[in-house]
Structure 1
Amino acid sequence: MSGFVYIKTFGCQMNERDSEIMEHLLGQAGYVTTEVMEEADLVILNTCSIRAKAEQKVFSLLGHLRQLKEKKERKNKPLFIGVAGCVAQQEGERIIRRMPHVNIVVGTQQFYHLPDMLGRLQRGESTSEVATDLSSSFAIPALQEMTSPPAPSQFRKFVTIMQGCNNYCSYCVVPETRGREISRPVRDILEEVEKLVSAGVREITLLGQNVNSYGRTNQVASQDVTFSDLLRLVARTPGLERLRFTTSNPKDLSTELMRCFAEIDILCPQFHLPVQSGSNRILARMNRKYTRELYLERVADLRSFRPDIALTTDVIVGFPGESEADFEQTMDLLREVRYHGSFSFKYSDRPGTRSSGFDDKVPEEVKKERLARFQELQDEISLERNTEYVGKTVDIMVESIGREGISGRTTTNHIVHCPPLPGVGPGDTVPVRVVQAGKHSLKGDFVGPQLEAGGRK
């Protein structure tokens, strides 16, 4: 088994990490990753079904791949096409019925078997492979064995600590596409983090659909480790400079976790806390299991532990039944919390969700207008928030270097653009003084004593 593989990833950080694992598994089977889709012998689309637009992009690209496959086959060069991730889990065999040129459909628990599926295809034992079973007894493999040594530029990595969700928000497909919550054993997580850091990684982001629920499943229950406990254990890893996590459900946000922001030095003062709506009536229809008042209480508590924490959120505009008054409550909450940034989207029906059956849908033009208003206000607040950093000195971890300068990220997750600085490379941490603020980024100048070789302080 050998050839070139091209993997296209849609969606969240969980999908990005899954793509890394698939790349490693296929590498062990003899495949070499290529950035050019047209030269690939195997194309994998790792998909997202959270929003309709992402799913539409997948099927549009599959249409293009049909033409590429036909072109290669005329030259007697086979091309295998696979669909992985949440759309694969959701649609299963329907993908092959709709797109017969697709060879592999593999779900969110089954992609670890991808090399075996591909082997059967290459040996002619089958013309298509579908694996989308979800099992309550599924255990996430010891992923440190599937962790490729990072390239020198890969100073930041994701580490999965759990997958699945038990919350069943009325608009969300995750429980159906990722299954129920499954936590990884602490030992596996720590071993993976240690391997990455020893190979040069300086920043780790812990991933889960709801990290606050870590440790509540039978895989780790006997260890009696909460998510805040896990953060403290990971933070002890020698050489780790920055620690982040995503995502959290406000209903499960504990005082112990909030206290971590005050007590763990390398835990970045940045928190993504999805609210989705500022209306209690809509939150109840969404089955979010918290109220506006509880959410605001959590925000106040967070800021009491870490006053400089940068908060971001998710908002769904135009949920079924959302009135103008409901939407104004969301706008009022935005004015009160004053997020540093937000991800806001128009509601779209997702197959199999309860909200897709609600009959009081908001007209598309109303959703569009409300989203524009929300984003305009968020941009105003983001600019005001970013202006607060002007004149301050912050440490950035360098991400990219170009002819025009350097870009890096602060602990609060702000991008800062700076002039060129010799001797600095990706992953180096350097001090800068913020001199200008924009809606989505900052500008800075390097400050401080002469930097040591490699740009490290």
Structure 2
Amino acid sequence: MSKKVAFYTLGCKLNFSETSTISRLFTERGFQKVDFQEAADIYIINTCSVTDNADKKCRKVVKEALKHSPDAFVAIVGCYAQLKPQEISEIPGVDAVLGAAEKFQLVDLLGTFEKKDKSAIFHSPVSTANTFHNSYSFGDRTRTFLKVQDGCDYSCTFCTIPQARGKSRSDTVENILRSANEIAESGVKEIVLTGVNLGDFGIQEDKGRVETFYQLAKALDEKVEGIERFRISSIEPNLLTDEIISLVANSKKFMPHFHIPLQSGSDKILKLMRRRYLRQVYTDRVASIKAQMPHCCIGVDVIVGFPCETEADFLETYNFLNELDISYLHVFPYSERDNTLAENMPGVVPQKERNRRADMLRILSEKKKRFFYEQHIGMETNVLFEADITNGLMEGFTENYIRVAVKYDPILVNETKRVKLTGLNAQGLMEVEEAELEVLKH
């Protein structure tokens, strides 16, 4: 009888694409994939290290796995595994830890997955993680996350990602087109392009290759049949060029939706963070997007409580975001990370104050999101419905990323419909009149 294996992913869309690819390595070798809440022989946990509670989350997931199968083999991979392998190996129940260069080889490295007295650590310096591994999620949801870039050459003072994932590297446009066509053949309608620093795609001059993200987007737009929607998961403002914005504005496949990290609306703090732009660049990008796509959804990452951020600096960020024509925020209270320059900076902001500032921005985010949604009431648009069901309602997204809720109907799953947006429900989701649902003719 084949061994059963279950997977759990913490963190970003990139991690989801890699977990899915690792799971396919197991099924190709005859393992049976099961849901994480089921009894399994092996549990693989893909970790994140963006915030300071990675250890707590990892321990909790290991504990949950062993509730289902006390004698199961537990392996930990991902960013946290690269940064703190010894620490993870000491978590009760962990049998193996694999770093960035080893995670795609875990089936070969771990062999029979027999438990030993001591945790096994397979870990190399991050400089050895210099190969690009093609990855995409498959069979998990209506949308597929397709990894096109990995690693980062930036040196932001708060970030451990370069230490966890290594230098920037990319797939080729040719290989990505091949993957996109494979995904299209499976019936998936939407692909989300993911990476650590997407705008840095293809810049590998040391290898004699210079492709750009614009060239990739243009090729996907023109050459992939069967995919209705492409989304760009996140792109740095200094790398979001006018030609990329123009391509999205004129494309029928690239959705009017950008997620653009800001991190701070204070030039002083941006300089301390070693970001590669000042706030005027951000203002210009938003203005350019909205001039060409007035209904475009724009999401923003922002960090509060960074060292030396005074109340005046925070209010500068708050007012900047309040006046900006954006749609929602992802807010992170700053958390100290080992081996970063910011860890030892003066002007530490108390945790309580960081949380207060984060709460203020989250309230602002809700206001921004509601205002963005309300602007679209009465409009007709296209929605791609997903399989997720909550309280008898299924959800979907408009082209510009407005979340829609309708009464569950299995026929709607993975279908694109023309709908009229009628108002917000108690959960802040957009409602539509079911009588007006019409299947789009392809």
Same fold (TM > 0.5) = yes
Deviation at 1:370, TM superposition (A): 1.3
Using a 3 Å threshold, how does the CA distance of structure 1 residues 38 and 193 change in structure 2: closer, same or farther? closer
Using a 3 Å threshold, how does the CA distance of structure 1 residues 398 and 38 change in structure 2: closer, same or farther? closer
Cα contact 2:130–2:167 (8 A) shared by 1: no
What letter corresponds to residue 81 of structure 1 in structure 2?
V
Cα distance in 1, alignment partners of residues 437 and 183 from structure 2: 30
Cα distance in 2, alignment partners of residues 142 and 11 from structure 1: 19
Instruction: Please say if 1:368 is aligned against 2:355.
Output: yes
Instruction: Determine the structure 1 residue equivalent to 2:212.
Output: 226
Deviation at 1:211, TM superposition (A): 0.9
Instruction: Please say if 1:389 is aligned against 2:363.
Output: no
Instruction: Please say if 1:285 is aligned against 2:277.
Output: no
Instruction: Determine the structure 2 residue equivalent to 1:80.
Output: 73
Using a 3 Å threshold, how does the CA distance of structure 1 residues 124 and 385 change in structure 2: closer, same or farther? closer
Cα distance in 2, alignment partners of residues 380 and 82 from structure 1: 42
Using a 3 Å threshold, how does the CA distance of structure 1 residues 219 and 39 change in structure 2: closer, same or farther? farther
Using a 3 Å threshold, how does the CA distance of structure 1 residues 197 and 221 change in structure 2: closer, same or farther? farther
Where in structure 2 are the equivalents of 1:71-150 lying within 5 Å? 71-72=70-71, 79-96=72-89, 98-99=90-91, 101-119=93-111, 121-122=113-114, 128-135=120-127, 138-143=130-135, 150=138
Instruction: Determine the structure 1 residue equivalent to 2:343.
Output: 356
Cα contact 1:431–1:446 (8 A) shared by 2: no
Q: Which shifted more, 423-432 or 163-172?
A: 423-432
Using a 3 Å threshold, how does the CA distance of structure 1 residues 347 and 263 change in structure 2: closer, same or farther? same
Cα contact 1:272–1:312 (8 A) shared by 2: yes
Cα distance in 2, alignment partners of residues 63 and 314 from structure 1: 31
What letter corresponds to residue 268 of structure 1 in structure 2?
M
Cα contact 2:9–2:15 (8 A) shared by 1: yes
Cα distance in 1, alignment partners of residues 235 and 9 from structure 2: 23
Deviation at 1:450, TM superposition (A): 5.5
Where in structure 2 are the equivalents of 1:412-451 lying within 5 Å? 412-419=400-407, 424-437=411-424, 440-446=428-434, 451=439
Cα contact 2:22–2:104 (8 A) shared by 1: yes
Cα contact 1:81–1:101 (8 A) shared by 2: yes
Instruction: Determine the structure 2 residue equivalent to 1:326.
Output: 313
Deviation at 1:358, TM superposition (A): 1.3
Cα contact 1:139–1:184 (8 A) shared by 2: no
Cα distance in 1, alignment partners of residues 374 and 19 from structure 2: 37
Deviation at 1:292, TM superposition (A): 1.1
Cα distance in 1, alignment partners of residues 62 and 377 from structure 2: 46
Deviation at 1:404, TM superposition (A): 3.5
Deviation at 1:63, TM superposition (A): 4.7
SS at match of 2:24: helix
Q: Which shifted more, 350-359 or 401-410?
A: 401-410
Cα distance in 2, alignment partners of residues 450 and 355 from structure 1: 53
Cα contact 1:318–1:367 (8 A) shared by 2: yes
Q: Which shifted more, 433-442 or 50-59?
A: 433-442
Q: CA RMSD in A?
A: 2.6
Cα distance in 1, alignment partners of residues 134 and 67 from structure 2: 38
Deviation at 1:13, TM superposition (A): 0.3
Cα distance in 1, alignment partners of residues 365 and 134 from structure 2: 41
Deviation at 1:339, TM superposition (A): 2.1
Deviation at 1:17, TM superposition (A): 0.7
Instruction: Determine the structure 1 residue equivalent to 2:255.
Output: 268
Cα contact 1:182–1:219 (8 A) shared by 2: no
The number of aligned residues is: 439
What letter corresponds to residue 112 of structure 1 in structure 2?
F
Deviation at 1:357, TM superposition (A): 1.2
Using a 3 Å threshold, how does the CA distance of structure 1 residues 16 and 401 change in structure 2: closer, same or farther? closer
Instruction: Determine the structure 1 residue equivalent to 2:289.
Output: 302
What letter corresponds to residue 393 of structure 1 in structure 2?
E
Instruction: Determine the structure 2 residue equivalent to 1:197.
Output: 184
Q: Which shifted more, 205-214 or 331-340?
A: 331-340
Cα distance in 2, alignment partners of residues 322 and 32 from structure 1: 51
SS at match of 2:235: coil
What letter corresponds to residue 17 of structure 1 in structure 2?
S
Instruction: Determine the structure 2 residue equivalent to 1:76.
Output: none
Q: Percent identity?
A: 27
Instruction: Determine the structure 2 residue equivalent to 1:48.
Output: 48
Cα contact 1:429–1:456 (8 A) shared by 2: no
Q: Where does the alignment leave 5 or more consecutive residues of structure 1 unmatched?
A: 73-78
Instruction: Determine the structure 2 residue equivalent to 1:258.
Output: 245
Cα distance in 1, alignment partners of residues 120 and 245 from structure 2: 48
Cα distance in 2, alignment partners of residues 434 and 68 from structure 1: 43
Cα contact 1:165–1:175 (8 A) shared by 2: yes
Where in structure 2 are the equivalents of 1:154-165 lying within 5 Å? 154-165=141-152
Cα distance in 2, alignment partners of residues 302 and 169 from structure 1: 26
What letter corresponds to residue 95 of structure 1 in structure 2?
I
